[in-house]
Structure 1
Amino acid sequence: MNSQQEQRNWKKKLFTIIFEADTRAGKNFDLALLVFILISLALVMLQSIPSVNDRYGPSLNKVEWIITILFSIEYLLRIIAVRRPVKYITSFYGMVDLLAILPTYISLIFPASHFLLVIRVLRLMRIFRILKLSQFVREGNAIVQAMKASARRIGIFLAFVLLLSVVLGALVYVVEGRVNDKFSSIPQSIYWAIVTITTVGYGDISPITPAGKIVASLIMLLGYAILAVPTGIVTVEMSKTFKKEDKHSQACPNCAAYGHDPDARFCKYCGSEL
């Protein structure tokens, strides 16, 4: 019983240090973690500069491996500290923590994947929780909720745009295909329609006939109207989902989830007592 109690106390202390930012030890741990993340990002950027990599590449690589090993140990400690590791592993932060260390190991097989370490920048989102910038956390949660609520309608809208691009691409191919070698096929014309309807306008392909220019002008005007649709969908959902309640930085000891209400006694994700 004593050994079990000691183990529970040890895991509770470990959880407080790693997941909580309310204690001094927890805040210092998170701040040190952010420093290592920034150093790691700087190393990746320096290694992408040929002159720097040619001169200091081996040394930068050694430092990067040291940081990756530290992050790997930290990831394992996070799994050990929570009561339900699977909940943490499959959570957003859990996936980000895993993806932050995988590129270094994958680079042993595929060297180019090393530069995917820039995904570690996502771990900097913890700074909002550490520095008690709860208003940013609340607004970020509102955006995420709005995107989730409007995902189905945006998906239908994108499908409609894709079908419209196919029709417009085929139309401009009929108009331009015989006199303009840029529109050499329907897929090439669909590519142009997508670039035009999204108002990107690379300029690598453009119509030369009067009829083609008329079609292009209509597609450009249509593009402005189309861009307003997803914006309106998300804005409506944001007005519904935005909540004024403040959130605290306490993490659930069972699934390591954040974003609970100040007076919450149980986790709203897994139901465990906070």
Structure 2
Amino acid sequence: MFKRLLKYEVLKDGAFYDRDTYENIFHDPDSRLGKKLNTFIVICVILSVGVLIIETVQGLPYSWYLNLFFADALVSIIFLLEYLYRFLRSKSKLLFPFKAFNIIDLLSFAPFFLMFFFPALSGLAILKVLRLLRIMRLFEVSAHSPIALGFLKTIREYHKEYKAIFSIFMSLLIIISSFVYYVEFPVNPTFSSIPQSLWWGFVTMSTVGYGDMVPVTAIGKVFGVLLILLGPVLLAVISSITILVFMDVAESQKITDSKICRTCKTRNSEHANFCLNCGEQHFTDIISPEHIRTPLKGFMKKLFGR
């Protein structure tokens, strides 16, 4: 009984994390210490990327390069310790090194130690490039946030709509680019193949327009104008759906992301059994996301008949 009370007192304080639900403290969105540690990791990532950028500048004083080295060493040690902690806390230690994010983490700090203990490897460009993988840590930290999880869930829910838009985009691109190739090739050598024409079509639809390939026939120019007009329209549709996805996530999260204590009105994790603030077990009912009407669902119903 004492251990149980102690556990919920610890959770109430928010300094630690729910070991029954989360594998380590970095994954618990309700732990204050976990949030601070995640923020600290983000700062270390930004610092390490800044070091990688600044150290490429030529002509800096020697003291600068020395300070950059010590900063890189400190960040690499922090990443190593954090990696070892997550390894020790993992439930499946055999599979831990083979998970995608863990491979990225290892490759992000391992080059520093390889170059430190084996100076002959310092000239390898691949080791310096691998250090840039540290920026992927930002995705890892945000991957466990409720907003990110809700966004991915909503994307999966409407994957058919994204596939439909992508299919329309690719169909128009391939048909028009292929037609322009057959029209332009006899008089315009820059359209030497359909892949080259596809490159021109993609650049034109994206409204970038490098100017390396330009149609010279009247029909080619007409289709070029058509691609210029269609590109922003399709991009606008994709952007609108993506914005509505974020609105959908925000609307759903207000209701589904937390359990609200009936006693003190504190928001708790959906996995919580007891309130972090008062310790009571009285929560309001959680409404399923399927029963929530959001802007995205109304838009999708009008656009795709869902």
Bin for the TM-score computed over the shorter chain: 0.5 to 0.7
Identity %: 25
| Distance (whole Å) between structure 2 residues aligned to residue 171 and residue 25 of structure 1 | 60
- TM-score where L is the length of structure 1: 0.64
Asked if 1:37 corresponds to 2:51, the answer is no
- TM-score where L is the length of structure 2: 0.59
- Equivalence for 1:221: 229
Q: 1:49 aligns with which of 39, 53, 57?
A: 57
Q: How does 1:32-111 map to 2 (within 5 A)?
A: 32-52=40-60, 57=65, 60-61=68-69, 63-85=71-93, 94=102, 97-102=105-110, 104=112, 108=121, 110-111=124-125
Q: 2:199 aligns with which of 191, 194, 204?
A: 191
* Worse-superposed segment, 36-45 or 110-119: 110-119
How far apart are 1:140 and its partner, in Å?
3.3
* 1:47 and 1:53 in contact (8 A); partners too: no
How far apart are 1:217 and its partner, in Å?
0.9
Asked if 1:179 corresponds to 2:179, the answer is no
Instruction: Number of aligned residue pairs: give it.
Output: 236
Q: Spell out, residue by residue over 1:140-174, the C-alpha distance to the aligned partner (whole angstroms, 9 max, x if none).
A: 33322222223344245434433432221221112
Greater RCO (CA < 8 Å, at least 6 residues apart) = 1
- Equivalence for 1:261: 270
Describe the SS at the equivalent of 1:68: helix
How far apart are 1:50 and its partner, in Å?
3.2
| Distance (whole Å) between structure 2 residues aligned to residue 21 and residue 238 of structure 1 | 19
**Compared CA separation, residues 62 and 229, structure 1 to 2 (3 A):** same
AA at the equivalent of 2:77: I
Describe the SS at the equivalent of 1:100: helix
Asked if 1:120 corresponds to 2:134, the answer is yes
- Equivalence for 1:243: 253
* 1:43 and 1:64 in contact (8 A); partners too: yes
Q: 2:214 aligns with which of 206, 211, 215?
A: 206
How far apart are 1:200 and its partner, in Å?
2.8
How far apart are 1:213 and its partner, in Å?
1.0
* Structure 2: gaps spanning 5 or more residues: 1-18, 116-120, 260-267, 275-306
**Compared CA separation, residues 207 and 96, structure 1 to 2 (3 A):** same
| Distance (whole Å) between structure 1 residues aligned to residue 86 and residue 56 of structure 2 | 31
Q: Spell out, residue by residue over 1:56-114, the C-alpha distance to the aligned partner (whole angstroms, 9 max, x if none).
A: 55763464244323312320111102334468667776565445335546874842442
* 2:142 and 2:148 in contact (8 A); partners too: no
* 2:184 and 2:220 in contact (8 A); partners too: yes
Asked if 1:154 corresponds to 2:162, the answer is yes
* 1:149 and 1:237 in contact (8 A); partners too: no
* Worse-superposed segment, 189-198 or 218-227: 218-227
| Distance (whole Å) between structure 1 residues aligned to residue 25 and residue 219 of structure 2 | 68
* Worse-superposed segment, 148-157 or 101-110: 101-110
* 1:150 and 1:234 in contact (8 A); partners too: no
CA RMSD of aligned residues (A): 4.2
| Distance (whole Å) between structure 2 residues aligned to residue 91 and residue 19 of structure 1 | 15
Describe the SS at the equivalent of 1:175: helix
AA at the equivalent of 1:227: L
How far apart are 1:126 and its partner, in Å?
8.1
| Distance (whole Å) between structure 2 residues aligned to residue 224 and residue 147 of structure 1 | 22
- Equivalence for 1:144: 152
How far apart are 1:179 and its partner, in Å?
2.1
How far apart are 1:28 and its partner, in Å?
5.9
* 1:16 and 1:23 in contact (8 A); partners too: no
**Compared CA separation, residues 214 and 101, structure 1 to 2 (3 A):** same
| Distance (whole Å) between structure 1 residues aligned to residue 99 and residue 195 of structure 2 | 39
* 1:71 and 1:101 in contact (8 A); partners too: yes
| Distance (whole Å) between structure 2 residues aligned to residue 261 and residue 94 of structure 1 | 26
Describe the SS at the equivalent of 1:203: coil
How far apart are 1:212 and its partner, in Å?
1.4
